[in-house]
Amino acid sequence: MRSSGDPGSLKGEALQVPTLPRREGQGWAAPRSHLDVTREQRRSPWRRLTCFEGSDTIGGFTPNSQHTQREETPVSIRSSIEALIRPSTVASAHCDLPCGIYDPAQARIEAESVKAIQARYQDAENMKGAQTVEEYRTRALAIKEQRASMVKEHLWVLWTDYFTPAHLEKYPTLHDTFWKATKLAGAAKKSQDPAQGQQLLDAIKEIDTIFWETKKA
């Protein structure tokens, strides 16, 4: 008899699975699982954990064992970790926590860009560069629309996150002022008139005045 510590004791040999004797009135007992091994087999240095393809159990013995016809498939640890840490959805948004970093200057700077682009659009024929007038104006419209959208977002954040019911009591026209300013920001997407951009800046200036008054209180 070979020693249980001898690697050759299991190498190249098929695993003999014992079965229970047939009992009267019953069918054959189910064979023991390949996980249910003897103490000698568990101690064998040839035993190792494997993941069998098409199986949700882990266990097994030698790489060349004949006790199963299924091929061994190594567990991909890297894929498992990546699946766990990979975000299902990526999103971005303004911080809604009371961080205290609010300033109408953000909306004003973007509104100044809107007005400047409106003016450059009108003077596109006098612009020097490799671009044609059509190309220049197309790019100007795309950038202006982005800036106008940013104006609206900055105003919305101030309106909904900074100002409180107490502010509204002191400034009854606050909602109307913000509503007009955001409407002007939306209109700036369609307008190439610098005068319209100035109207937007004037509306933001009203909000700026109220904002800094609340800071002093």
3-state SS, one letter per residue, for 154-213: HHHHHHHHHCCHHHHHHCCCHHHHHHHHHHHHHHHCCCCCHHHHHHHHHHHHHHHHHHHH
In the chain, where are the structural domains located? 1-81, 105-216
Whether the full predicted model's pTM is greater than 0.85, yes or no, is no
Q: Which fold has domain 105-216?
A: Four Helix Bundle (Hemerythrin (Met), subunit A) (1.20.120)
Given a contact cutoff of 8 angstroms between Cβ atoms, the answer to whether 127 and 136 are in contact is yes
**CA torsion 46→49→50→51, rounded to 10°?**
160
Task: List pLDDT tens digits, range 153-199.
Answer: 999 999 999 999 999 999 999 999 999 999 999 999 999 999 999 99
- As a whole number of angstroms, the distance between CA 208 and CA 217 comes to 15
User: Each residue of 93-128: pLDDT tens digit?
Assistant: 555 555 668 999 999 999 999 999 999 999 999 887
